[in-house]
Amino acid sequence: MYLENKLSTHWDSLSADELRSRQGRRLHHFLKNHVVPFSAHYGNLFEEAGIDPDGIRTVEDLSALPFSSKRSLISEADGTPLTRDFVLVPDEKVLAKRPSTIVRALTHGRSAVKTAFEKEYRPILMTSTTGRSAEPIPFLYTQHDLDNLALTGRRLMEVCDSRPDFRHLNLFPFAPHLAFWQAHYAGIGYNTFTLSTGGGKVMGTEGNVRLLGKINPDALIGMPTFIYHVLQVAVEKGLHCPNIRRIVLGGEKVPEGLRRKLRTLCAELGSGKVEVMATYGFTEAKMAFPECPSNGGEATGYHLYPDLGIVEVIDPDTGKVVPDGEPGEVVFTPLDSRGSVVLRYRTGDLISGGITHEECPACGGKMPRLMGRISRVSDVRRMNIGKVKGTLVNFNELEHVLDDLADVGTWQIELRKRNDDPLESDEIVVHVAPASRVEREEIESRISERFAAATEIRPNRIEFHDAADLRRRHGVGKALKEEKVIDRRDDAAVADSNTSTPVSHHELS
């Protein structure tokens, strides 16, 4: 079996030094045999910059390569995606001369060689980025990539401590996006029962709740706020789901307060102890990295796959790699991808605790881990520049402050101009669906106090809604990312109030 030969445990037993030297060797092989000869973009780039792939043999040597970013992937002239330039397209003449090709042709015949190359290089699946403002950028997968997607999926299951006899419910929205397909292939790779509902768009909250009752799953996989809504409705309907033991989340940040609320809802559904774990993934990596069960302790960090990619953490201003444990921007280089390949990709994601090579205290894994919270580099910058009511506001912090308030179920922050007059002062309205029966005045004062402590300003108004109304405000089931912070200040005096500009960290810029 293909997968059997590539078990995570194979690299997981290595020391940090051994690991880096193997990564260096794999990087050299990947660049020399796959990327430089077969990628239009990188073939040109290496030649023009005078970089010899033979000179890149260690992880440190990577710094000789320039970074790529979302901007590298689109045309400067008209903003269209440069998809083909980043796809590995093999040159048959180059392949035919390789000793491995000749040996395979002799032992298995020419048609076997052809089939193997088609499986390795022909794109057969596409995902794309989920940017709201920018045009989506396609990312292509070959059969080789899908085998790796099943492999990383299986590792997700292993790290999250799933069991083959578990029943998994995948609630990610059905779409050409990594999250859905990673979860789908996790079931395939781990050879376990997985029902993909397609999320709210496909069968609505009701349909998802019905399947929750019918399947009685052991594990839920999906977006945090959607799973929260589904569980909330399940509780309202008096459902009994005693088996839930794992919740694996992706696509959004997962504050501690939300994890607590999810566990509380599961308890109300009759489940015992539930581990809530987050994953971190992005289109350009073609894989997602999970936390392992923390057993009620601190989050364990995102467990990386060092054989499949190199993760660097850099200072976003200088571009220099920072030491272990220091915050910085996440940069990714694949080591075994086909189809679309981007090297030293700057994610725009800031990781607050940097990278660690220490053994994981929770599961004993030796793979490197990304520690702490993830926020968007662009958001931090934008928020530092953009003032609300004349005061600098960090919305990443704000989000955590409200999510950690136990009485607040779901919420949305709306920025607007007083009386919708563009010359008027800013207003902050907080929309809340309460999670408890505490008096409204009490909830109002708690929100106001927390707000003031975190941002030095107070909201002008707090408006109460029921959970369903807030779901509509978030665009649950419609928008792929929920609109938790909405800036309507530019809409003042514009008649159409539906044209809101979300400024949450979910927006890709």
Q: Which is nearer to Zn ion, 369 or 473 (CB)?
A: 369
Q: Which is nearer to Zn ion, 233 or 292 (CB)?
A: 292
Judged by CB under 5 A, the stretch of 12-20, 38-46, 139-147, 364-372 that binds Zn ion is: 364-372
Nearest distance from residue 293's CB to Zn ion, in Å?
8
Q: Which is nearer to Zn ion, 298 or 456 (CB)?
A: 298
Q: Could you give the angle at the alpha carbon of 289 between the alpha carbons of 288 and 292, nearest 5°?
A: 140
Provide the greatest CA pair distance for the chain.
Answer: 81
Q: Which is nearer to Zn ion, 295 or 384 (CB)?
A: 295
Cα(451)–Cα(460) distance, rounded to whole angstroms? 11
Nearest to 377 by CA among 326, 314, 443: 314
Nearest distance from residue 449's CB to Zn ion, in Å?
36
Q: Which is nearer to Zn ion, 184 or 303 (CB)?
A: 303
Cα–Cα distance list, 457 to 101, 126, 393, 395, 415 (Å): 67, 45, 9, 12, 13
Q: Which is nearer to Zn ion, 365 or 502 (CB)?
A: 365
Judged by CB under 5 A, the stretch of 225-233, 253-261, 353-361, 463-471 that binds Zn ion is: 353-361
Q: Which is nearer to Zn ion, 121 or 305 (CB)?
A: 305
Distance of CA 280 to the CA centre of its chain: 4
229-268 binders of Zn ion (CB under 5 A): none
DSSP count for the chain of H helices, then E strands: 16, 22
Cα–Cα distance list, 28 to 36, 53, 55, 336, 392 (Å): 11, 7, 8, 11, 46
What the block records as the tokens of 431 is: 């929309």
Q: Which of 129, 142, 294, 300 binds Zn ion (CB under 5 A)?
A: 300
Cα(169)–Cα(274) distance, rounded to whole angstroms? 15
Residue 430 binds Zn ion, judged by CB under 5 A: no
Q: Which of 363, 371, 393, 470 binds Zn ion (CB under 5 A)?
A: 363
Judged by CB under 5 A, the stretch of 9-17, 149-157, 160-168, 354-362 that binds Zn ion is: 354-362
Q: Which of 316, 365, 368, 477 binds Zn ion (CB under 5 A)?
A: 365
Nearest to 388 by CA among 353, 430, 416, 421: 416
Q: Which of 169, 227, 313, 362 binds Zn ion (CB under 5 A)?
A: 362
What the block records as the tokens of 136 is: 């989506």
Distance of CA 244 to the CA centre of its chain: 23
Q: Which is nearer to Zn ion, 364 or 390 (CB)?
A: 364
Nearest distance from residue 292's CB to Zn ion, in Å?
3
Q: Which is nearer to Zn ion, 369 or 431 (CB)?
A: 369
Judged by CB under 5 A, the stretch of 41-49, 81-89, 244-252, 300-308 that binds Zn ion is: 300-308
Q: Which is nearer to Zn ion, 291 or 349 (CB)?
A: 291
Q: Which is nearer to Zn ion, 62 or 367 (CB)?
A: 367
What the block records as the tokens of 84 is: 């083909």
Cα(208)–Cα(363) distance, rounded to whole angstroms? 32
Amino acid 309 reads G
Judged by CB under 5 A, the stretch of 17-25, 257-265, 352-360, 378-386 that binds Zn ion is: 352-360
Nearest distance from residue 433's CB to Zn ion, in Å?
34
- Number of residues engaging Zn ion in binding (CB under 5 A): 6
Q: Which is nearer to Zn ion, 369 or 376 (CB)?
A: 369
Cα–Cα distance list, 58 to 33, 49, 392 (Å): 16, 19, 43
Contacts with Zn ion, 267-296, as mask; x by CB under 5 A: -------------------------x----
Catalogue the E-assigned strands of 132-218: 138-142, 167-170, 193-196
Nearest distance from residue 303's CB to Zn ion, in Å?
6
Nearest distance from residue 352's CB to Zn ion, in Å?
18
Is residue 408 helix, strand or coil? strand
Judged by CB under 5 A, the stretch of 5-13, 298-306, 396-404, 429-437 that binds Zn ion is: 298-306
Cα–Cα distance list, 196 to 129, 183, 249, 375, 420 (Å): 21, 8, 14, 28, 43
What the block records as the tokens of 41 is: 């973009």
Q: Which residues pair with 196 in a beta bridge?
A: 170
Judged by CB under 5 A, the stretch of 306-314, 357-365, 374-382, 460-468 that binds Zn ion is: 357-365
Nearest distance from residue 160's CB to Zn ion, in Å?
10
Q: Write out the DSSP string of 58-73.
A: STGGGGGSPPB-GGGG
Cα(280)–Cα(294) distance, rounded to whole angstroms? 16
Exposed, middle or buried, 429 (CB in 10 Å: 0-12/13-18/19+)? middle
Q: Which residues pair with 142 in a beta bridge?
A: 123
Nearest distance from residue 354's CB to Zn ion, in Å?
17
Q: Which of 258, 308, 360, 405 binds Zn ion (CB under 5 A)?
A: 360
Q: Could you give the angle at the alpha carbon of 262 between the alpha carbons of 260 and 264, nearest 5°?
A: 70
Nearest distance from residue 291's CB to Zn ion, in Å?
7
Applying CB under 5 A, which residues contact Zn ion?
292, 300, 360, 362-363, 365
